[in-house]
Amino acid sequence: MTDCIFCKIVNKEIPADIIYEDDRTLAFMDIRPVSRGHVLVIPKLHSEDLLSTDDETLRDLIPKIKIIATAVMNAVDADGINLTTNHGAAAGQVIFHMHFHLIPRYKNDGLKPWQHHDSEPKTRAELAVLIKNNL
Ligand code: 5GP
Ligand code: ZN
């Protein structure tokens, strides 16, 4: 038994509008879509979030996401698509079974997910060093 809602969907303990399934992957409609055609793609194997998902699972998943994203875009006649994952509560993660969002975008849909800000060259350079030193 698991408390994970997405594992429950994988195990068919609760229903979902499944659009793709194979031995390792499941894709289904988001219950509270950001836009028309919003789909979630998950590995069946439970991992909490992106950075704790093993490389082999991700290698298997990414080409399937391409196929599913193409189908979504064609099905809803989208003009673009956002592929996102929220890693951690601070980033908006609510369900702690790793998932990618496929959010179809439409010309003039008014969705503005990110706000950009100006930055100073010195600050950027310092941050680049800081990050490189953590690789
Ligand atoms: P997160 O915020 O964790 O990145 O995204 C979780 C997503 O799962 C949300 O977009 C939410 O609407 C969706 N969701 C939550 N519970 C369920 C559910 O029971 N079924 C389906 N199909 N989607 C769900
Ligand atoms: Zn799970």
Can you give 81-104 as a three-state secondary structure string? EEEECCCCHHHCCCCCCCCEEEEE
Which residues, at least 6 apart from 112, have a Cβ–Cβ distance to it below 8 Å?
Answer: none
- The atom of ligand 1 lying closest to the CA of 28 is 22
Do the strands 39-43 and 100-105 form a parallel or antiparallel pair, or are they unpaired?
A: antiparallel
Q: What is the pTM of this model?
A: 0.96
Cα 111 from Cα 60, distance rounded (Å)? 30
116 as an active site residue: the answer is no
Task: Tell me the average pLDDT across 7-32.
Answer: 98
Of 38, 46, 87, 99, the active-site residue reads 99
Q: How confident is the model at residue 1 (pLDDT cuts 50, 70, 90)?
A: low
Output the CA 7–ligand 2 centroid distance in Å: 4
Task: Tell me the average pLDDT across 34-39.
Answer: 98
Strand partners, 105: 80
- Ligand 1 is surrounded, with C-beta below 6 A, by 5, 16, 28-32, 40, 86, 92-95
